[in-house]
């Protein structure tokens, strides 16, 4: 049945659980349709990349928030330096009014969320590709006078480590949360061993953590490097709120993929596998949908 729907389309968008993406991708490729998805799963993206080498259509996974927009904007910052040194990517989808102990409510797919908490994370350390542990690398961030914490999670770095290793000293991605959140995650996934029983972890979150439509997306990228022999930093910061009956995370995610669709419609993109960082920044940030990521 899915194949018959594809017959009447130009582009296939997979917005389902990442576990279905391989089959959807293969069917889209067979039908000669452009393929776009929102996955954060590294293994799935690598598999799609490996199997799209001879594609005559555009294959563009990871078109959401992180990975997605954060990679487009992060790469834009890195390109402004004669010699980039570091690139730090930080994103969080947070409730505006949390009252529970871990200061977090659900605002998107639980399976995707928990997947980021338990898988090893890609990074660049000392100009080499590295794997770092999830829920580690805790740091404090203050944005507009509000204190947050950030820690390693998987997927958000996208394909940037493939693009920038040997070119940049340090590159990593971390999830933003309210202070104290990671301690509860470590207790659940490490002390109680829920990382070894993801089905149970999903059930616990879905049954006990409230969902919310009152949310905010915190988007922060920082690059440092040399310009005219002087070490410099450049930041990109924005906050996205809900609007027009859409939550912040819905707006942020939909805007990323919608702008990619506009590029496809306008024939701005090539065939084959396309990394997020290879998408044209100016078209993205100045577009009808991508402009939501403009700095505040």
CATH 3.30.360.10 fits 74-246, yes or no: yes
For residue 278, give both structure tokens: 């290879």
Q: Does 63 score more than 80 pLDDT?
A: yes
Q: Where are the domains of the chain?
A: 2-65+253-293, 74-246
CATH 3.40.50.720 fits 2-65+253-293, yes or no: yes
| Same fold? 2-65+253-293, 74-246 | no
Helix, strand, or coil (residue 102): coil
- Per-residue pLDDT of 201-225, as tens digits, reads 999 999 999 999 999 999 999 999 9
Region 141-152: what's the mean pLDDT? 96
Of 106, 103, 90, 76, the residue nearest 209 (C-alpha): 106
Strands of 98-214 (E only): list them.
121-125, 128-132, 139-143, 146-152, 170-177
Distance (Å, rounded) from C-alpha 51 to C-alpha 31? 15
DSSP string, 225-257: EEETTEEEEEEEEEEEE-BTTB-HHHHHHHHHH
Q: Give Cβ neighbours of residue 281 (< 8 Å, ≥ 6 apart).
A: 72, 73, 75, 76
- Per-residue pLDDT of 11-57, as tens digits, reads 999 999 889 999 999 999 999 999 999 998 889 999 999 999 889 99
Region 124-143: what's the mean pLDDT? 96
- Per-residue pLDDT of 89-119, as tens digits, reads 999 999 999 999 999 999 888 988 899 999 9
Q: Give Cβ neighbours of residue 119 (< 8 Å, ≥ 6 apart).
A: 42, 134, 154, 155
């Amino acid at each position: 049945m899915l194949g018959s729907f594809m017959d009447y389309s130009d582009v296939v968008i997979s917005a389902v659980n990442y576990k279905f993406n391989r089959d959807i991708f293969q069917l889209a490729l067979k039908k000669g349709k452009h393929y776009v998805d929102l996955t954060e799963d590294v293994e799935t993206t690598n598999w799609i990349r490996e199997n799209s080498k001879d594609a005559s259509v555009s294959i563009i996974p990871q078109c959401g928030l992180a990975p997605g927009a954060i990679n487009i904007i992060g790469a834009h910052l890195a390109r402004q330096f004669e010699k980039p040194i570091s690139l730090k990517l930080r994103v969080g989808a947070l409730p505006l009014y949390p009252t529970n102990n871990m200061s977090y409510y659900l605002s998107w797919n639980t399976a995707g969320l928990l997947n980021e908490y338990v898988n090893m994370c890609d990074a660049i350390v000392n100009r080499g590709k590295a794997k770092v542990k999830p829920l580690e690398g805790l740091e404090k961030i203050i944005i507009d006078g509000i204190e947050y914490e950030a820690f390693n999670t998987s997927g958000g770095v996208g394909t940037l480590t493939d693009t920038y290793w040997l070119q940049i000293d340090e590159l990593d991605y971390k999830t933003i949360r309210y202070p104290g959140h990671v301690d509860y995650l470590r207790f659940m996934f490490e002390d109680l061993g829920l990382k070894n029983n993801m089905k149970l972890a999903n059930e616990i979150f879905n049954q006990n953590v409230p969902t919310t439509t009152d949310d905010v997306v915190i988007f922060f990228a920082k690059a440092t490097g040399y310009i005219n022999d002087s070490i410099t930093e450049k930041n990109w910061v924005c906050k996205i709120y809900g609007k027009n009956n859409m939550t912040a995370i819905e707006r942020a995610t939909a805007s990323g993929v919608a702008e990619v669709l506009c590029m496809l419609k306008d024939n701005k993109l090539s065939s084959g596998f396309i990394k997020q960082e290879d998408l044209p920044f100016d078209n993205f940030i100045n577009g009808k949908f991508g402009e939501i990521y403009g700095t505040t």
